[in-house]
Chain A
Amino acid sequence: MRKTKTSLLAAVLAVFMILVSVTTACSSNSEETGQSSNSPTQSAAPQDNSNEATTYPIQTDKNLTYWAGINSNLAGIRSSLDEVPFFQEWQKRTGVPLTFISPTAGQQKEALNVMLASGEMPDVIEYSWISFPGGPEKAIKDGYIISLNELIDQHAPNLKKYLEEHPEVDRLVKTDTGNYYGFPFIRGDESLLVFQGPIIRQDWLDELGLEMPTTIDEWYTVLKAFKEKKGATAPLSFLSEGRLAALGNGAIIGAFDINQGFYLDNGQIKYGPAEPRYKDFLATMSKWYAEGLLDKNIATTDQKTLDANIISGATGVSLGNAGSQLGKWTPLLSEKDPRAVLAPAPYPVLNKGDVPRFGQLDNAFAVNGTAAITSKSKNPELAVKMLDYAYSEEGHMLFNFGIEGVSYTMENGYPTYTDLMMKNPDNLAPAQALSLYIRGNYFGPFVQDKRYSEQYNVLQSQKDSIEVWKTDAKSTKLPPITATPEESTELAKIMTDVDTLVNEMTLKIILGSEPLSSYESYMKKMETLNFDRAIEIQEAALDRFNKR
């Protein structure tokens, strides 16, 4: 009797667990979808070929759904976009009521993935479509989003005008076959393109009587001095997700005349880790690591650890953005140590006097926040009209400066942020207050104005940074090229394996768990991963881009 009792309990448990394991195995793959295959033609929409400017607010009784992330500056201040004054004003001005859907912060890609798989799509999706697997062309071809060529031509006079006046931008925002896939985020001035680079403890340099370092050798001297004389336990530290993520734009590694990923070298596509000089870079980094100059936890450093390192004085040199890092660390650090000064440092080079060839430089078309219209939208025309507002004179002011009299006032023809923004009575940092009223300080489908950053970068170090971080990256930066939908699957397949290999090799050699000499054997393995084909695909993509 006893035995039957226990085995009954066990049997119930067993059946339960089997079912759980079976469902978890299948449920993630079996999202059911609507069978209707909406073809992405707009033939159903009433054709009115008027090319007149839309009058805002638009008189409409229709409602659009809009998918966009909530900016991280708003974390803890507003929980949904409906509650953000900017988005309320935007709806009022355009006359189009919007229902917002926002993914969990930091999970945009997963959320988009699940949403697309479910087949339930909103009218507008704001996403960095250029990084959509297979590129925007594939997103159109697979029927997620629609090509906007006709719609922009007929209903978006403001964007059309901007693109006509700026052919160099026009080239960036469409696909190889000439499809417009979204309303782009455009950085409207050269000075807005550079915002990231090395950051150093200026007060330590002064105290130790050291010059601002410009070469790798000088960096070594400075880091050593920071460690020995200032007691820094992690003299150089930075974000390191994957393969030392913070170096992705070419800091430090650029001194060796290569970059972390694909780059241009006299019009030729190269891949940094496959170049022999990558070994020199690894040698330097592993030496720094062994001597305790590079953060001991470099493989696991995240934002939280890095912030703690800077503020506690464990780190003297890092890499970051003028706004989100330099701007954040400076007040926090001076709270703890009033004499502390953070300053931007130039990108290091190998030989004194050289101009750094690599560094952070955005394209005028920044990839974040491209607003695309989905194939499921019943009112693509209305969506286009609504989105075009941002590129008008009035919309430009709203997106960059907010509401006149509330977030800015005109002083001698210069839109000046009010104290509500810059010295917020509720103690919000400028970045947070601005995020409530404008989109200029992050991204979105509009043209960014440089008068925003002139005021936003309040610290002298931030203002200096644009000049200090200047590099020759224009000649080495790869434009936003995309593989064809067919090739992109192949490219992705090769590159996931190559990335795994290179990430692993890089960290292992730097951390000293494998000798420098193993670099060659890794390169041999890389050949077997069909890496040459990846270069071929990228070259073809570049050719197509150049022919645009």
Chain B
Amino acid sequence: MRPSASPSHAGKPVKSKEFVVSRLVKDLALNRYLYIMMIPVLAYYILFQYGPMYGAIIAFKEYSPIKGILGSDWVGLTHFQSFFESYYFWRILKNTLLLSLYSLCFEFPAPIILALLINEVRNKRFKSIVQSVTYMPHFISLIVICGIIKDFTNSGGLINTFITYLGGDGQAMLQKPELFRSIYIISDIWQGMGWTSIIYLAALMNVDQEQFEAARIDGAGRLRQIWNVSLPGILPTIIIMLILRIGNLLSVGFEKIILLYNPAIYDTADVISSFVYRKGLLEFGWSYSAAVGLFNSVVNLILLVLANRLSKKFSENSLW
């Protein structure tokens, strides 16, 4: 995203302020079309991405739409305090983190494995059918997915009919706290695996075919090739995706949760966002929700930076 300044100045020590200004003017003149082309993009980010962020200050205010964002009264950290002191704070934090970690362990590798498998398929037709079939669930609306999950998991649903057929005991699965995380993660994998695998497939395309050839000549089998050629080839992409994923550790969306949960499974299903939905949104607590949102964003940002730094240190891959 950085303006492509002319490289000739690189490395020169900055002597004085005037020097910087004159250099900038010179560069502006030299690359003026590049700068002009950048204006719309810059304007977009300032207007639509950075501008609205000032609204985050309502987290420290008692926001009232009539008074406006600036006119509302300051209340300091009251909303943060009431969130941290909430009776359920530790439970929802734990549930959020666990759900995120499970998704990191099981959901994250799934598309990589799928992409590697698809990549090994030599029959073009079969390959494209598999790809289309696996993306398909991505396009089904979440509310429909949740309807399907509910129908499948109730005591007379598909899964239970199958279990009873095998001699097991049918039960309403969404009423069992211990099953919720599995249902959530498995359905997530089913829905998202195909779509996410596109990124890895694209990365696999870029792996040099000559390397495969060389490996084959050296006598490497399929698995060896995957392990020693394909995987290292897409490692940078994997790492970047992993860093991004870690940066979202605290954000578990409320939509799927509130469509699936019920009080009997709050123990495992209630997460920060669903709690805020109940407490903040339905009570018109704009400021409270903003405070929690801000807390989430800050924690996520810190995690992202940390993950990036670690990755830089150990694998030489990083976001910036």
A interface residue numbers (CB < 8 A to B)? 2-3, 5-7, 9-11, 13-15, 17-19, 21-23, 25-35, 37-38, 109-110, 113, 116-119, 132-134, 142-144, 233, 240, 242-243, 296-297, 299-300, 305, 375, 492-493, 496-497, 500-501, 503-504, 506-508, 511, 513, 525, 528-529
Shortest Cβ gap from B185 to chain A (Å): 19
Given contacts A21-B251, A30-B52, contact A504 B266 (CB under 8 A): yes
Interface status of B166 (Cβ within 8 A of chain A) = no
Given contacts A25-B296, A492-B283, contact A5 B264 (CB under 8 A): no
CB pairs A–B below 8 angstroms (6 shown): A23-B48, A116-B65, A118-B65, A144-B65, A299-B172, A504-B263
Give Cα A302–Cα B122 distance, bound, in whole angstroms: 48
B297 engages A300 (CB within 8 Å): no
* Chain A residues with CB under 8 A of B297: 21-22, 25-26
Q: Which residue of B lies closest to A115 (CB)?
A: B65
Given contacts A17-B244, A28-B293, A30-B52, contact A133 B262 (CB under 8 A): no
Q: Which residue of A lies closest to B241 (CB)?
A: A10
CB contacts under 8 Å to A, within B45-68, are 45, 48-49, 52-56, 58-59, 64-68
Interface status of B1 (Cβ within 8 A of chain A) = yes
Interface status of B134 (Cβ within 8 A of chain A) = no
* Chain A residues with CB under 8 A of B159: none
Q: Kindly identify which residue among B52, B59, B64, B207 contacts A27, using a CB–CB cutoff of 8 Å.
A: B52
A142 engages B289 (CB within 8 Å): no
Shortest Cβ gap from B316 to chain A (Å): 10
Given contacts A30-B56, A37-B67, A513-B264, contact A23 B206 (CB under 8 A): no
Most buried by A among B87, B202, B279: B87
A142 engages B66 (CB within 8 Å): yes
Shortest Cβ gap from A490 to chain B (Å): 11
Q: Kindly identify which residue among A14, A242, A297 contacts B240, using a CB–CB cutoff of 8 Å.
A: A14
A10 engages B240 (CB within 8 Å): yes
Q: Kindly identify which residue among B71, B279, B285 contacts A35, using a CB–CB cutoff of 8 Å.
A: B71
Q: Kindly identify which residue among B68, B199, B294 contacts A37, using a CB–CB cutoff of 8 Å.
A: B68
A113 engages B68 (CB within 8 Å): no
* Chain B residues with CB under 8 A of A501: 87
| Chain B binding surface SS class | helix
A297 engages B65 (CB within 8 Å): no
* Chain A residues with CB under 8 A of B251: 21, 25
A2 engages B208 (CB within 8 Å): yes
Give Cα A463–Cα B254 distance, bound, in whole angstroms: 44
Q: Which residue of A lies closest to B175 (CB)?
A: A299
* Chain B residues with CB under 8 A of A116: 65, 284
The stretch of B11-19, B25-33, B93-101, B150-158 in contact with A is B150-158
Give Cα A29–Cα B297 distance, bound, in whole angstroms: 13
Interface status of B177 (Cβ within 8 A of chain A) = yes
Interface status of B176 (Cβ within 8 A of chain A) = yes
Give Cα A115–Cα B86 distance, bound, in whole angstroms: 28
Interface status of B135 (Cβ within 8 A of chain A) = no
Give Cα A296–Cα B155 distance, bound, in whole angstroms: 7
A2 engages B206 (CB within 8 Å): yes
* Chain B residues with CB under 8 A of A33: 65-66, 68-69
Q: Kindly identify which residue among B55, B236, B285 contacts A31, using a CB–CB cutoff of 8 Å.
A: B55
Further 13 A-B residue pairs, CB within 8 A, beyond A113-B284, A300-B175? A2-B207, A9-B203, A23-B52, A26-B55, A30-B58, A143-B67, A144-B66, A297-B175, A299-B262, A300-B154, A300-B172, A507-B262, A507-B263
Q: Which residue of A lies closest to B284 (CB)?
A: A133
A496 engages B174 (CB within 8 Å): no
Interface status of B281 (Cβ within 8 A of chain A) = yes
Interface status of B112 (Cβ within 8 A of chain A) = no
Give Cα A197–Cα B103 distance, bound, in whole angstroms: 45
A511 engages B264 (CB within 8 Å): yes
Give Cα A38–Cα B241 distance, bound, in whole angstroms: 49
Given contacts A29-B56, A119-B65, A296-B171, contact A503 B263 (CB under 8 A): yes
* Chain B residues with CB under 8 A of A117: 65, 286
CB contacts under 8 Å to A, within B265-309, are 265-267, 270, 278-279, 281-286, 289-290, 293-294, 296-297, 300, 304
The 8 closest A-B pairs by CB, nearest first: A30-B55, A503-B263, A29-B290, A507-B264, A296-B155, A143-B66, A10-B240, A25-B297
B283 engages A504 (CB within 8 Å): no
Shortest Cβ gap from B28 to chain A (Å): 24
